[in-house]
């Protein structure tokens, strides 16, 4: 069908703007996307895609995340599932508050405005969102359940307050969770973070460290499982004790994975922030030690851990005893020992650890070989030996292999009550306090008499006050709101002060998937019976950038709520699929880089359907892509062709068997590709079918067009609906069953058999599909080209790959 023919037939042009708004209205009016909790004859399927932060407008990244997910959900719906595809907004967070300081606009206002704009953009996209179920995390109806969860966690010891060295971002003026520090810098603003000793609220995620390492029954990408496993960082070793001279009550505990090197411990190093430092430092060393500790505290993490930084440290003046070698060894402090890992102290074994080696060399500390690769001692070492070996210079343990030595020494310390085998994790408890306004108030009151008092459940929510100033100076605006801060103690009725810290917004997103199911409930965060219809989530999709943060917290909160009797399953989402990142000229799109691409101009020019299809056509969804809008012409032209094809007059002709095969093959291909999230090849298959149909005529073509529209519906919902209707199909195409293919028809009838001689292509034979090995071989051997190629050589063997190839190997 060419333009000329179309004109002769007077087919009107495809104008996306003329149909897309109309269908958005109709779908809304007919409540097409409202998903009931049960639909007789249809199994429930919970398809969750990550909700966005209401940053202003939907950008290309949002489209890339949502449009393919929507297509996959629509496909499942046509396959007969009752598919829930909800959406909401991760509406608390720093950017809105920072914008408020800059633009003098209240975050609540800007957030509401942004959400309104983004909702209408989702509508323009044609996503099958059931908006009745929307959640907005900055509304008290939502965040009261954050507070409720906090209080339940508190009751169970899963939430606690502690003084700890925490990450502080000097620009955002708040503490951060470990997970929000990327290479020593604030995840958001990339400012180097510093350590501060503060009293803060934590969630006890470490209690679940071992369970979080198990992914039993989960269909999650290997990549994410590996990242989470590395993040949790389970390490088996031993905790061993060094008694401190003159301080019988203050023995130093160290963590090591190499207990077999214990005899080589010639010094002890504490982290500068270690609590014993102050106690054990001798008066003559105090000034120097204090100065070093002070300096370490004020040094950004990024400098402390920077590669090539020379090791520094100072001697405390105190001595410990190596209980195995009996030696008196000096206690140092050095910032290469991290207070946040293990026990914050190590036994320095310079002969067998590169860091200890460098430190010992610099400060002239003794180096003793205690592990030998060959069982011999070697006197002075040139380099540290960090490999496995046999214990030497280790008294009664001499000759013991390292692995056995590790076990024995750990056990021996255990028997003496001085430690024993232990496991340590890199994962720290989740720091949830934030010194910022735009978040969920932590429901705690501080009373002079009663101390730390949780706000009673019946007084929830603790509402975030609206009237605050945003100066950007002097910390959390909440502190200055007297009506909020000044309160009475729920226990004694006396004067009290409210907690002014708010919660990390990752608390909000750790359980939002439950709230969609019962978003108006004011008695519980979710009625269990409603949850049972949908949970756990069948399919979750979202950006790979959340591999650790959100996805780890979400798993933890699920397990914690399970242990509180609120949930009945171990994992929140059974199957996870991450789309890759969409970048612009190889760089992440971000406001600060000013390279954010807006989808709106493309929607205007090409229509939402073309943009949807283009997002899916860019390349493998899981790998991400570089944004290059040039290709959108391709999907746009395709839809124009479909339009003409579907509206052209049927042409007479005979049934076309080959075309019928192609149709059935395409049904199979598109379905399989959608199930595997291979949107790009699915789109290509649709294009191929359209090409074939446009060249055909007769009844098979007509049947093919009908099928094509059904297959197209998940990808381009508006045009599919329009053409379906114009061709007399019943409303709505999105409620039609997915076409069924005939497996026999989906296969080719005739195939091209490739004949090779010694691996080189010699002939191609068109033969019936399904030949036996002997038949294929016989066919190949009758080929003149093949005979000529074999010549006088002897046939050594013949390899036959059914319906594909015959390879004749000569000797």
Stretch that binds RNA, among 136-144, 283-291, 402-410, 681-689 (CB under 7 A): 681-689
For RNA, the binding residue among 30, 103, 183, 488 (CB under 7 A) is: 183
What is the closest distance, in whole angstroms, from the C-beta atom of residue 443 to RNA in the complex? 31
For RNA, the binding residue among 71, 252, 289, 346 (CB under 7 A) is: 346
Q: Which value, in Å, is the radius of gyration of the alpha carbons in the chain?
A: 34
What is the residue-wise DSSP string for 312-377?
-EEEEEEEEE-TTT--EEEEEEETTS-TTSTTSEEEE-GGG-HHHHHHHHHHT------EESSS--
Stretch that binds RNA, among 114-122, 123-131, 435-443, 680-688 (CB under 7 A): 680-688
For RNA, the binding residue among 4, 29, 466, 794 (CB under 7 A) is: 4
Nearer to RNA among residue 44 and residue 256 (C-beta): 256
Stretch that binds RNA, among 77-85, 500-508, 564-572, 751-759 (CB under 7 A): 751-759
206 lines the binding site for RNA (CB under 7 A): no
Nearer to RNA among residue 298 and residue 459 (C-beta): 298
Stretch that binds RNA, among 283-291, 476-484, 505-513, 615-623 (CB under 7 A): 615-623
790 lines the binding site for RNA (CB under 7 A): no
What is the closest distance, in whole angstroms, from the C-beta atom of residue 732 to RNA in the complex? 27
Contact characters 694-733, RNA, x per CB under 7 A:
x---------------------------------------
Stretch that binds RNA, among 57-65, 290-298, 351-359, 733-741 (CB under 7 A): 351-359
For RNA, the binding residue among 40, 326, 364, 586 (CB under 7 A) is: 586
Contact characters 352-371, RNA, x per CB under 7 A:
-x-x--x-------------
801 lines the binding site for RNA (CB under 7 A): yes
528 lines the binding site for RNA (CB under 7 A): no
What is the closest distance, in whole angstroms, from the C-beta atom of residue 636 to RNA in the complex? 6
Contact characters 218-257, RNA, x per CB under 7 A:
----xx--xx--xx-x-x-x-----------------xxx
Q: Between residue 271 and residue 300, which ones bind RNA under the rule CB under 7 A?
A: 271
| Distance, CA of 296 to CA of 167 (rounded, Å) | 14
Look up residue 441 and give its two tokens.
């108030």
What is the closest distance, in whole angstroms, from the C-beta atom of residue 766 to RNA in the complex? 9
For RNA, the binding residue among 173, 381, 533, 548 (CB under 7 A) is: 548
630 lines the binding site for RNA (CB under 7 A): yes
Q: Between residue 27 and residue 86, which ones bind RNA under the rule CB under 7 A?
A: none
421 lines the binding site for RNA (CB under 7 A): no
Q: Kindly determine how many residues on this chain lie close enough to bind RNA according to the rule CB under 7 A.
A: 88
Nearer to RNA among residue 1 and residue 87 (C-beta): 1
End-to-end CA distance of the chain: 55
Which parts of 616-660 are beta strand (E)? 625-626
For RNA, the binding residue among 15, 189, 452, 752 (CB under 7 A) is: 752
Helices (H) and strands (E) in the chain, counts: 28, 32
User: How far is residue 360 from each of residues 268, 269, 305, 311, 384, measured CA to CA in Å?
Assistant: 11, 11, 19, 10, 11
What is the residue-wise DSSP string for 674-737?
HHTT-HHHHHHHHHHHHHHHHT--HHHHHHHHHHHHHHHTTTSHHHHHHHHHHTTPPS-GGGSP
User: How far is residue 167 from each of residues 151, 201, 312, 389, measured CA to CA in Å?
Assistant: 24, 13, 22, 39
For RNA, the binding residue among 131, 341, 569, 731 (CB under 7 A) is: 341
| Distance, CA of 436 to CA of 504 (rounded, Å) | 9
What is the closest distance, in whole angstroms, from the C-beta atom of residue 103 to RNA in the complex? 30
Nearer to RNA among residue 33 and residue 255 (C-beta): 255
| Distance, CA of 215 to CA of 343 (rounded, Å) | 28
| Distance, CA of 344 to CA of 274 (rounded, Å) | 6
584 lines the binding site for RNA (CB under 7 A): no
Look up residue 522 and give its two tokens.
């004011």
Contact 673, 681 (CB under 8 A): yes
What is the closest distance, in whole angstroms, from the C-beta atom of residue 248 to RNA in the complex? 24
Nearer to RNA among residue 99 and residue 719 (C-beta): 719
What is the closest distance, in whole angstroms, from the C-beta atom of residue 479 to RNA in the complex? 32
What is the residue-wise DSSP string for 560-601?
HHHHTTS---S-SEEEEEEE--EEETTEE--TTTT-PPPSHH
Nearer to RNA among residue 217 and residue 759 (C-beta): 759
Contact 44, 38 (CB under 8 A): yes
3 lines the binding site for RNA (CB under 7 A): yes
| Distance, CA of 556 to CA of 568 (rounded, Å) | 14
| Distance, CA of 112 to CA of 116 (rounded, Å) | 6
781 lines the binding site for RNA (CB under 7 A): no
| Distance, CA of 146 to CA of 157 (rounded, Å) | 16
- Find the largest Cα–Cα distance for the chain: 108
618 lines the binding site for RNA (CB under 7 A): yes
What is the residue-wise DSSP string for 36-97?
PS-BTTB-EEEEEEPPPP--SS--HHHHHHHHHHHHHHHHHHHTT-EEE----B---SHHHH
617 lines the binding site for RNA (CB under 7 A): yes
């Amino acid at each position: 069908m060419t333009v000329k023919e179309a004109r002769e037939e007077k087919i009107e042009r495809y104008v996306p703007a003329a149909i897309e708004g109309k269908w958005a209205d109709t779908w809304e009016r007919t409540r097409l996307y409202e998903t009931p909790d049960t639909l007789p004859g249809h199994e429930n399927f919970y398809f969750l895609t990550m909700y966005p932060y209401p940053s202003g407008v939907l950008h290309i990244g949002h489209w890339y995340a949502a449009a393919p997910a929507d297509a996959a959900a629509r496909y499942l719906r046509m396959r007969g599932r009752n598919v829930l595809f909800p959406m909401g907004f991760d509406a608390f967070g720093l950017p809105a508050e920072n914008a408020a300081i800059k633009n003098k606009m209240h975050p609540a206002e800007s957030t509401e405005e942004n959400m309104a704009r983004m909702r209408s953009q989702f509508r323009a996209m044609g996503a099958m969102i059931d908006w009745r179920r929307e959640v907005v995390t900055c509304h008290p109806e939502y965040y009261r359940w954050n507070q409720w969860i906090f209080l339940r966690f508190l009751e169970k010891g899963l939430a606690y307050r502690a003084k700890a060295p925490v990450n502080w971002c000097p620009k955002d003026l708040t503490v951060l969770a470990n997970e929000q520090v990327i290479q020593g810098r604030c995840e958001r603003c990339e400012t180097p973070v510093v350590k501060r000793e503060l009293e803060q609220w934590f969630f006890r995620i470490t209690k679940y460290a071992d369970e979080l390492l198990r992914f039993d029954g989960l269909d999650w990408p290997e990549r994410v499982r590996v990242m989470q496993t590395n993040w949790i960082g389970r390490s088996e070793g031993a905790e061993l004790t060094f008694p401190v001279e003159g301080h019988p009550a203050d023995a130093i505990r160290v963590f090591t994975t190499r207990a077999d090197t214990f005899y080589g411990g010639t010094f002890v190093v504490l982290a500068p922030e270690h609590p014993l430092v102050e106690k054990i430092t001798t008066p003559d060393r105090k000034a120097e030690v204090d100065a070093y500790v002070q300096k370490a505290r004020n040094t950004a993490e990024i400098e402390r851990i920077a590669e090539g930084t020379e090791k520094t440290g100072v001697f405390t003046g105190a001595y410990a005893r190596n209980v195995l070698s009996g030696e008196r060894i000096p206690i140092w402090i050095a910032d290469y020992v991290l207070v946040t890992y293990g026990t914050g102290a190590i036994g320095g074994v310079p002969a067998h650890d590169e860091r200890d080696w460098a430190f010992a060399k610099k400060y002239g500390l003794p180096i003793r070989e205690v592990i030998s690769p060959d069982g011999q001692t070697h006197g002075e070492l040139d380099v540290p030996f960090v490999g496995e070996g046999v214990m030497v210079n280790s008294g009664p343990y001499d000759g013991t292999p390292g692995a056995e030595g590790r076990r024995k020494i750990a056990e021996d310390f255990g028997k003496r009550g001085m430690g024993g085998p232990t496991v340590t994790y890199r994962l720290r408890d989740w720091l949830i306090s934030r010194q910022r306004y735009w978040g969920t108030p932590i429901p705690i009151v501080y009373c002079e008499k009663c101390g730390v008092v949780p706000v009673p459940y019946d007084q929830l929510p603790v509402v975030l006050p609206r009237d605050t100033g945003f100066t950007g100076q002097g910390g959390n605006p909440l502190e200055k709101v007297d009506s909020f801060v000044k309160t009475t103690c729920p226990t004694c009725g006396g004067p009290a002060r409210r907690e002014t810290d708010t919660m990390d917004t990752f608390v909000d997103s750790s359980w939002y998937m439950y709230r969609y199911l019962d978003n108006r409930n004011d008695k519980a965060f979710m009625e269990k019976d409603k949850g049972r219809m949908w949970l756990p989530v069948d399919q979750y999709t979202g950006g790979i950038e959340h591999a650790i943060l959100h996805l780890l917290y979400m798993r933890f909160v699920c397990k914690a709520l399970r242990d509180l009797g609120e949930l009945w399953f171990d994992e929140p989402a059974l199957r996870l699929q991450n789309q890759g990142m969409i970048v612009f000229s190889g760089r992440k799109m971000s406001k600060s880089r000013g390279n954010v691409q807006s989808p709106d101009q493309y929607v205007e020019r090409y229509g939402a359907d073309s943009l949807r299809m283009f997002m899916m056509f860019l390349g493998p969804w899981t790998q991400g892509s570089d944004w290059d809008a040039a290709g959108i012409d391709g999907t746009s032209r395709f839809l124009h062709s479909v339009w003409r094809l579907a509206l052209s007059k049927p042409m007479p002709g005979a049934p076309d068997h080959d075309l019928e095969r192609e149709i059935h093959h395409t049904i199979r291909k598109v379905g399989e590709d959608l199930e595997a999230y291979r949107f790009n090849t699915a789109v290509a298959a649709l294009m191929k079918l359209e090409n074939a149909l446009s060249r055909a005529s007769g009844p098979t073509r007509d049947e093919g067009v009908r099928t094509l529209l059904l297959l197209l519906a998940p990808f381009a919902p508006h045009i599919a609906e329009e053409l379906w209707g114009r061709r007399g199909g019943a409303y709505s195409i999105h409620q039609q069953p997915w076409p069924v293919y005939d497996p026999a028809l989906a296969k080719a009838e005739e195939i091209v058999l490739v004949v090779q001689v010694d691996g080189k292509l010699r002939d191609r034979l068109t033969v019936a599909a399904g030949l036996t090995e002997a038949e294929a071989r016989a066919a190949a051997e009758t080929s003149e080209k093949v005979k000529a190629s074999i010549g006088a050589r002897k046939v050594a063997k013949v390899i036959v790959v059914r319906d594909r190839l015959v390879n004749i190997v000569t000797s």
